[in-house]
């Protein structure tokens, strides 16, 4: 296993026609992973911290790219509402069955919505919003594609990006492989999780991409459980 170079192999979950019990079990497994390994907590806190700084009483518009089963959208919305911040959160994913799953679980009010769109397609239009968030998604981009995406986001006047991601590491790979024997995860989630670690960026790679994106103000923070949290100010 060579962890010096990013893997570009697709995961099973990248099949946008995936549906049924296999998909539902995997989305439920990912929700468990997001909770156990800190993604929900880290991303919702970072979103709250930023929103608290800019909140002026108006509804803040947040977009989650690659929302999967919608659990992250749900957690972030609840965190903001508890803090007294009015927000609407839109989750976007390329698989219509994932969106159907998210709608069935979390779209119980007008402030949480989901839609299907292929974010990696050149024709994808970034919705107007105050902040874009994503988790376990940006590694789907090639380096130059991510650079172009960040530049396009800046041109559209969007103020802030937050990426909560895995960090590529041999130790992370081994630990996840061992923990997957005891965690109640679907077989697809176990296999895709290992692939995702090998596809993830290192801190140095993220910093290089942000510099090439002509971003002036950003932080790439290392988090527990071999994660990174990247916060980018675009304005």
Instruction: Please name the residue that has the structure tokens 């041109």.
Output: 155
Helices (H), 8-138: 20-36, 39-54, 71-82, 96-106
Q: What is the pLDDT of residue 59?
A: 97
* Edge-first strand listing for the sheet containing 112-116: 112-116, 87-93, 60-65, 131-135, 160-166, 227-233, 217-223
Distance CA(73)–CA(170), nearest Å, equals: 30
Q: E strands along 94-226, which residues?
A: 112-116, 131-135, 160-166, 217-223
Are residues 130 and 56 in contact, defined by beta-carbon separation less than 8 angstroms? no
Split the chain (235 residues) into runs of 10 and give each run's mean pLDDT.
Answer: 88 95 96 92 96 96 97 96 97 98 92 96 92 96 96 93 96 92 93 96 96 95 93 92
Tell me which DSSP letter residue 214 carries. Answer: T
Contact (Cβ atoms closer than 8 angstroms) between residue 82 and residue 51? no
The confidence score (pLDDT) of residue 107 equals 85
Q: Identify the helix (H) or strand (E) that includes residue 170.
A: helix 170-179
Q: What is the per-residue pLDDT for 28?
A: 96
The whole-angstrom separation of Cα 55 and Cα 74 is 19
171-180: long-range contacts, CB 8 A cutoff, minimum separation 24: 171/226, 172/197, 172/225, 172/226, 173/1, 173/3, 173/197, 173/198, 175/226
Query: In angstroms, rounded to a whole number, what is the distance separating the alpha carbons of residues 144 and 212?
Result: 9
CA distance 60 to 71: 19
Cα radius of gyration rounded to whole Å, the chain: 17
Q: Enter the DSSP assignment of 109.
A: S
What tokens does 5 get? 């170079």
Cα–Cα distance for residue pair 99/122, rounded to 1 Å: 21
How far is the C-alpha of 24 from the C-alpha of 113, rounded, in Å?
19
């Amino acid at each position: 296993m060579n962890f010096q170079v990013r893997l570009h192999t697709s995961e099973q979950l990248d099949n946008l026609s995936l549906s049924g019990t296999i998909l539902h079990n995997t989305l439920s497994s990912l929700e468990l992973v997001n909770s156990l390994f800190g993604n929900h907590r880290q991303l919702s806190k970072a979103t709250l911290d930023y929103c608290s700084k800019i909140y002026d009483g108006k509804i803040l518009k947040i977009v989650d790219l690659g929302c999967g089963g919608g659990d992250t959208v749900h957690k972030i919305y609840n965190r903001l509402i508890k803090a007294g911040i009015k927000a609407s959160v839109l989750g976007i994913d390329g698989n219509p069955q994932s969106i159907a799953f998210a709608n069935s679980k979390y779209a119980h009010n007008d402030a949480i919505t989901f839609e299907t769109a292929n974010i990696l397609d050149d024709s994808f239009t970034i919705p107007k919003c105050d902040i874009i968030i994503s988790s376990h998604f940006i590694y789907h981009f090639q380096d130059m594609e991510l650079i172009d995406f960040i530049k396009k986001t800046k041109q559209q006047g969007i103020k802030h990006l937050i990426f909560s991601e895995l960090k590529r590491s041999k130790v992370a790979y081994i630990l996840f492989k061992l923990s997957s024997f005891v965690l109640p995860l679907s077989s697809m989630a176990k296999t895709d999780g290992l692939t995702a670690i090998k596809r993830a960026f290192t801190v140095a790679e993220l910093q290089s991409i942000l510099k090439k994106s002509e971003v002036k103000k950003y932080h790439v923070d290392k988090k527990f459980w071999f994660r990174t949290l990247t916060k980018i100010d675009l304005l």
